[in-house]
Copies of this chain bind each other. A is one copy, B any other.
Amino acid sequence: MENDKKWIAKTPAPPYYAVILTVVPGEDTSGYDEMISRMVELAKSQEGFLGIESAESEIGVIVSYWEKISNIEAWSKNAFHQTAKSLGKQNWYKSFRTRICRVEQEY
């Protein structure tokens, strides 16, 4: 099966929501890719999940798409997701930023 990260998310007509997570990786990123893969699999099973786009070079930019803002709130409270975020802050990220957006146009 093709790696999902290769593809552009198939999202519906706007409006919908996006979470832009930008991370500056630290020195040691062992275990990071595996955690991201697990989180992507878990996100897919969440209500309102529409897709994910992710790229990593000097920084990482991970954008997930959601039907409603309430879906994002629910996902942010997911216990496994919270554990992954804590691990990220402690072990992998030098710094990071999360932005919640309403997608208004797509073309």
Q: Contact residues of A with B, CB < 8 Å?
A: 3, 5-9, 11, 14, 18, 20, 22, 24, 53-63, 69, 95-107
Complex alpha-carbon distance, A104 and B95, angstroms: 20
* B residues less than 8 Å from A8 (CB atoms): 22, 24, 59, 95-97
A101 touching B104 in the complex, CB below 8 Å, given contacts A7-B24, A53-B22: yes
Indicate which residue in B5, B11, B97, B100 contacts A104 across the interface (CB closer than 8 Å). Answer: B100
Taking each of A24, A54, A95, which has the highest tally of chain B beta carbons within 10 Å of its own beta carbon? A54
Q: What are 26 A-B pairs at a CB distance below 8 A?
A: A5-B59, A6-B58, A6-B59, A7-B59, A8-B22, A8-B59, A18-B20, A20-B20, A20-B63, A22-B63, A53-B61, A54-B59, A55-B57, A55-B61, A61-B62, A63-B63, A69-B104, A97-B107, A98-B106, A98-B107, A99-B103, A99-B105, A99-B106, A101-B101, A101-B104, A102-B104
B residues near A11, Cβ cutoff 8 Å: 99
